[in-house]
């Protein structure tokens, strides 16, 4: 819509401004041409005898005759004044009768100076403000030349303030017409845009409902143009497929818990029983190794189920305020025994803070971060908490720079990873953090090691 408005404004401006400028320029050129033509026509109608007389005609009679001629010519020019001058610049006829016998070669009238230039008399025209008349005038002067040379000049002046006012009125009219057209165009554009935008807005609202987890959201008949209506039907077909897919996933999640965990539990019990009853050390060793592999398989299944559950649940609408420092303390207690077996330690640092996240999901995040840290970098491991984050830091050799962008990908295992990992731990952390509006970031401390920082949404509640 804004793009259309910009185009419409550009078109209106591109049409009205050049039109107004052209009108003003044409009016100026035409008025100057008429004034110059009038001066030249009068000059051609006069001779040296008309100005100086034939020697027998009294001077007073010459002036009366020239005055009549000036009055006659001035009557043909709207708001015009005609002045006839001798070659030496003396006014011998003035339709206004103001400057008779005055010397006009006084440097105040450039057009007269040019017309009475003895070496190169020229006709010319110009616009200027007249202090005598108190308005804008258009003046034109033309030399009177015969075979004997320069005989005099004719000066025509015209008050053009009315012409300028008329041009200004027409220009303002064009601008008003342009603005009116612009307003009308914008009104029509907004009306058309509304008829197009309303169906799209309804479709967008339905898409947001579907994206927030409402699988029953359908666009149905959004209205509008045929293409938009077809888009709505295509959206509903996609939503149907998504709902069927999510239903199949829910059924898989429900069945997988029973179908996978039950046989694994039975297998583990049988292996533990067989190992306890076996008298052969080598067989018992192999049975215990198989039992360990069953544990690892069960852990992989549990992690896959956690990820599937997270996808199914979507973004939750609300959550209790969870104490980050309490969660860190619980995680330290859960993992201290295992850390000791690996000649490691788990310590907690930071301030007491509350965040918007389910406590179970936060426990899962810390468990996966600690499991990853102890597996890849045995040694001192720190759990840090702040007002908007929890972080787990190890003091190992760090992660190669070319692998840092991929560590949160599912099933990704870097070079030199110890055997037994599934490549799902950090992916689960990322999904659980994003579920609550958070994120995970890998940091490299200056003194070595790796720091996995999980940003969370703070809450106003206090412990």
What is the rounded distance in angstroms from the CA atom of residue 444 to the CA atom of residue 463? 31
pLDDT category of residue 324 using cuts at 50, 70 and 90: very high
Asked if residue 7 and residue 156 are part of one domain, the reply reads yes
Asked if residue 424 and residue 305 are part of one domain, the reply reads no
Whether the per-residue pLDDT at 309 is higher than 70: the answer is: no
Asked if residue 137 and residue 97 are part of one domain, the reply reads yes
Q: 34 or 366: whose pLDDT is higher?
A: 366
Q: Specify the pLDDT at position 419.
A: 58
Compute the chain's Rg from CA coordinates: 49
* C-alpha 383, offset from chain centre: 42
Q: Which of 289, 313, 337 is the last residue of a domain?
A: 313
**Choice among 187-191, 192-196, 290-294 with the minimum mean pLDDT:** 192-196
Of 49-53, 85-89, 211-215, where does the model show the most confidence? 85-89
Q: Which of 135, 165, 195 is the last residue of a domain?
A: 165
Asked if residue 11 and residue 158 are part of one domain, the reply reads yes
pTM of the model as a whole: 0.42
Which burial class, exposed, middle or buried, applies to 21 when counting CB atoms under 10 A from its CB (0-12, 13-18, 19+)?
A: exposed
Whether the per-residue pLDDT at 376 is higher than 50: the answer is: yes
Asked if residue 345 and residue 290 are part of one domain, the reply reads no
Is residue 104 included in any domain, yes or no? yes
Is residue 201 included in any domain, yes or no? no
Mean pLDDT over 60-74 rounds to 85
Is residue 249 included in any domain, yes or no? yes
pLDDT category of residue 463 using cuts at 50, 70 and 90: very low
CA-nearest of 10, 184, 155 to 77 is 155
What is the rounded distance in angstroms from the CA atom of residue 370 to the CA atom of residue 381? 8
Asked if residue 399 and residue 362 are part of one domain, the reply reads yes
**Choice among 18-27, 205-214, 328-337, 365-374 with the minimum mean pLDDT:** 18-27
Asked if residue 299 and residue 334 are part of one domain, the reply reads no
Asked if residue 441 and residue 346 are part of one domain, the reply reads yes
Q: 387 or 384: whose pLDDT is higher?
A: 384
Instruction: Give, for 56, the enclosing helix (H) or strand (E).
Output: none
Is residue 210 included in any domain, yes or no? no
Is residue 223 included in any domain, yes or no? no
Mean pLDDT over 388-410 rounds to 84
Give me the domain span that covers residue 255. Answer: 237-313
Q: Specify the pLDDT at position 462.
A: 42
pLDDT category of residue 342 using cuts at 50, 70 and 90: confident
Count of the separate structural domains present in the chain:
3
User: Where residue 410 sits, what CATH number does that domain have?
Assistant: 3.30.565.10
Mean pLDDT over 233-249 rounds to 81
What is the rounded distance in angstroms from the CA atom of residue 377 to the CA atom of residue 394? 6
pLDDT category of residue 385 using cuts at 50, 70 and 90: very high
Asked if residue 328 and residue 283 are part of one domain, the reply reads no
What is the rounded distance in angstroms from the CA atom of residue 97 to the CA atom of residue 105? 18
Q: Which of 276, 296, 313 is the last residue of a domain?
A: 313
Handedness of CA 317, 323, 325, 326 (dihedral sign): negative
């Amino acid at each position: 819509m804004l793009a259309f408005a910009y185009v419409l404004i550009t078109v209106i401006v591109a049409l009205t401004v050049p039109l107004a400028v052209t009108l003003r320029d044409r009016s100026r050129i035409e008025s100057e041409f008429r004034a110059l033509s009038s001066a030249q026509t009068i000059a051609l109608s006069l001779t040296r005898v008309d100005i100086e007389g034939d020697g027998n005609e009294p001077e007073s009679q010459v002036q009366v005759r020239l005055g009549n001629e000036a009055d006659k010519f001035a009557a043909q020019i709207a708001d015009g004044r005609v002045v006839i001058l001798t070659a030496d610049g003396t006014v011998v006829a003035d339709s206004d009768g103001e400057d008779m016998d005055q010397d006009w070669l006084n440097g105040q009238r450039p057009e007269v100076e040019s017309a009475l230039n003895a070496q190169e008399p020229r006709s010319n025209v110009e616009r200027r403000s007249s202090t005598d008349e108190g308005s804008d005038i258009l003046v034109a002067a033309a030399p009177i030349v015969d075979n004997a040379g320069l005989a005099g000049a004719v000066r025509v002046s015209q008050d053009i303030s009315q012409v300028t006012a008329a041009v200004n009125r027409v220009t303002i009219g064009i601008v008003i017409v342009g603005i009116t057209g612009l307003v009308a165009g914008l009104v029509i554009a907004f009306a058309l845009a509304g008829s197009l935008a309303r169906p799209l807005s309804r479709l967008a609202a339905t898409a947001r409902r579907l994206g927030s987890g409402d699988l029953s959201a359908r666009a149905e008949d959004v209205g509008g143009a045929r293409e938009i209506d077809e888009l709505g039907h295509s959206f509903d077909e996609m939503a149907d497929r998504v709902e069927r897919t999510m239903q199949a996933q829910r059924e898989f999640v429900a069945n997988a818990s029973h179908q996978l965990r039950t046989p694994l539990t039975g297998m583990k019990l049988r292996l533990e029983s067989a190992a306890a009853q076996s008298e052969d050390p080598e067989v018992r060793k192999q049975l215990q190794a198989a039992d360990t592999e069953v544990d690892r398989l069960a852990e992989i299944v549990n992690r896959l189920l956690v990820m599937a559950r997270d996808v199914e649940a979507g973004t939750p609408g609300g959550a209790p305020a969870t104490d980050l420092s309490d969660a860190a303390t619980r995680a330290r207690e859960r993992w201290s025994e295992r850390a000791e077996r690996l000649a490691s330690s788990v310590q907690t640092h930071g301030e007491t803070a509350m965040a918007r996240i389910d406590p179970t999901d936060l426990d899962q995040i810390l468990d996966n971060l600690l499991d990853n840290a102890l597996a890849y970098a045995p040694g001192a491991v720190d759990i840090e908490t702040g007002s908007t984050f929890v972080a787990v830091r190890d003091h190992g050799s760090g992660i190669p720079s070319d692998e840092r962008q991929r560590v949160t990908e599912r099933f990704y295992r870097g070079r030199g990873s110890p055997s037994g990992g599934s490549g799902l731990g950090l992916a689960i952390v990322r999904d659980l953090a994003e579920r609550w509006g958070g994120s995970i970031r890998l940091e490299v401390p200056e003194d070595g090691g790796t720091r996995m920082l999980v940003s969370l949404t703070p809450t106003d509640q206090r412990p």
